[in-house]
């Protein structure tokens, strides 16, 4: 969900890694790059290669299915947080 939420605008792998790091989320490149590929295979991301500056970069962006999945995951996450908060408050 976190990775998907970074990709509403197109980004390439290293930028996503950098942004995750800046937000304090520790994800290894060896986890992120295969994950991006899998998300694309699952149809959640679209990608294209940018070869303009001689260093090929694969840019990823959310597909329609990816946007829908992200919305669903966010709402599931919010429900989970609310339920946990409710349990915590009841236990006070």
Partner 1 sequence: MNQYIERYIYAVTRLIKPKERRDVQRDLTEYFESALGGDESFTNVEKTLKAMGSPRKLAYKYRNNGKNLIKQENYELYLDVVKIGLGIVAEIIFVTAIIDFFSSILINPSLLTLSYGITSIVRFLFEDLLRSLLVIFASLTIGFMLWERYGHHLYHDTEEWMIKDLPKVPSTIRPFEKTSLEMITTTLATVYLSLFVLLVLRFPMLANELGIESSILLPINYNTYFFVFLLLVGQYIINQVLLISKGRTLVYKISRSVFSIALLVTFGLFFFGGEFFSESDKQNFANLLDASLNQATMTIFLNLLITISIMTLLEIKELIRVWKK
Interacting residues toward partner 1 by CB under 8 A: 12-14, 17, 28-31, 33-34, 36-38, 41, 49, 55-58
To partner 1, the closest distance from the beta carbon of 4 in angstroms equals: 17
To partner 1, the closest distance from the beta carbon of 63 in angstroms equals: 17
To partner 1, the closest distance from the beta carbon of 89 in angstroms equals: 36
Q: How far apart are CA 12 and CA 15, in angstroms?
A: 6
- Residue 62 zone, left/alpha/beta (φ > 0; ψ -120 to 50; rest): beta
**Inter-axis angle of helices 13-22 and 29-41, to 10 degrees?**
120
Residue 24 or residue 54: which is nearer to partner 1 going by CB?
54
Residue 13 or residue 66: which is nearer to partner 1 going by CB?
13
In a 10 Å sphere around its CB, with 0-12 CB exposed, 13-18 middle and 19+ buried, how is residue 24 labelled? Answer: exposed
Residue 17 or residue 44: which is nearer to partner 1 going by CB?
17
């Amino acid at each position: 969900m976190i990775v998907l939420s970074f990709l509403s605008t197109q980004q390439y792998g290293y930028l996503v890694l950098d942004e995750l790091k800046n937000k304090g989320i520790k994800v290894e490149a060896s986890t992120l790059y295969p994950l991006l590929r899998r998300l694309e295979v699952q149809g959640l991301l679209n990608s294209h290669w940018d070869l303009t500056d001689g260093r090929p970069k694969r840019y990823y962006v959310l597909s329609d299915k990816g946007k829908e999945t992200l919305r669903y995951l966010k709402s599931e996450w919010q429900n989970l947080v609310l339920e946990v908060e409710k349990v915590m408050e009841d236990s006070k």
